[in-house]
Amino acid sequence: MTARRIHNLVSVPGSKSIANRALICAALANSESVIENCAPGDDTEAMIDALRILGVGVERDSDKVRISGNLDLENIREMQLNAKLAGTTSRFLTALCSLRAGVTTIDGDEPLRTRPMHDLHSALRDLGAHVSSISHEGFLPVQISRGAQWQAKVAVRANMSSQFTSALMMIAPRLPSGLEIVLSQDVVSRGYIEMTVSVMRAFGANTDFSDNQIWVSPGEYQGTSFTVEPDASSASYPLGAVAISGGSVTIAGLSRNSLQGDVEFIDLLARMGCDVSESHEGLSLNRDKERPLRGVNVNMSQISDCVPTLAVVAMFAETPTQISGVGFIRDKESDRIGDLIGELHKLGANVSETQDGMVIQPGVLHGANLETHHDHRLAMAFALIQREVDGVIVNDPEVVSKSWPRYFDVLPSFYKS
């Protein structure tokens, strides 16, 4: 009888995407909320710090956060908020502060000031908010305050960041007539909009998303107890580690019923030749290292945060991989196409850029010093190469504090047999 494979159980942090949405809804709720398994990391801390400055009572005890709710939107004091390097935080706060009577200045560290915000600023102006760029139009820093009258319908280009759409959705219950959002062009990262719908509903909002239209009814958020799922994007790293180096891993508490589209990353690895299963413990992946990895041709527009992980895994496949549909990730924390390819070239990888992605061909790899470009996802993906290729050094590894501060401490546990 064949011995049963024992899966290595790995816990990943709570989803920062879900946590930041829950924090916004809880701040606007009419009573206290408790958020369990709240994500660690700089992005979540930047959100919590900003909510405290805005007057929301927030108490954090490890991964449990208690939020008082009842944000005072009539406060006329001028306030300044620093989102640091957190794009999601800056965009959600910009929309949130458009509800305030007082002027709020939203700013961030220099790399965040280069990330485009134009579509969000434009949509808020269309709705009736006062939005004033301080340095460059469409970028941080920006000043924002409530206007005299709100519109009930707005159009948003959906081929840019889904964060713009989610930001508008979450403030919509507090608008006098609610909001209808019409999404033009192809919707990228649709799963993140669906995630926003689910979190809003958990806090009592009435919202719907069908085809390219979103409806949000006016009303109040209700304080609640909310548990944040394990982060599916972070799960891509232990899964990628096993896909590259062989072995077995189970992501504790993650299931196919996740609110996060990135849970589909595990299915890409199955297409590449790994075995996938699910149990009460979580989602599992294993690979016999003698079994070859196959390349894939995949549109990753709906799971774009996993592009660096797949690109790194693809370098160890025996056939080419083509990633498409992700041209918009050039405007993430880094240029996640150009910067990623440039660093992989240092390793000798055969990678070429396309209009909306890249092609990774099999090749012989060697050691190199890799820059992380202020991007936590590049750092975490590059670290997976070190076990298989001697002489790979990841510079500025501290950038992982954005989403998984202890990443390099727990990385060895990915490989336990």
Q: Which residues are catalytic?
A: 305
CA–CA separation, 384 and 241 (whole Å): 6
- Cα–chain-centroid distance for residue 250? 21
CB atoms within 10 A of CB 253: 19
- The number of CA neighbours under 13 Å toward the Cβ of 37 is 16
CA–CA separation, 85 and 45 (whole Å): 11
DSSP assignment of 313-356: HHTTSSS-EEEES-GGGGGSSS-TTHHHHHHHHHTT-EEEEETT
- Cβ neighbors of 340 (< 8 A, separation 6 or more) are 307, 308, 311, 334, 358, 378
CA–CA separation, 166 and 186 (whole Å): 16
- Radius of gyration from C-alpha coordinates of the chain: 21
CA–CA separation, 273 and 318 (whole Å): 11
- List alpha helices for 29-132, DSSP H: 42-53, 87-97, 110-113, 118-127
Give every strand in the sheet of 64-67, ordered side by side: 58-61, 64-67, 33-36, 225-227
- Cβ neighbors of 171 (< 8 A, separation 6 or more) are 28, 95, 96, 98, 99
- List alpha helices for 16-86, DSSP H: 16-28, 42-53
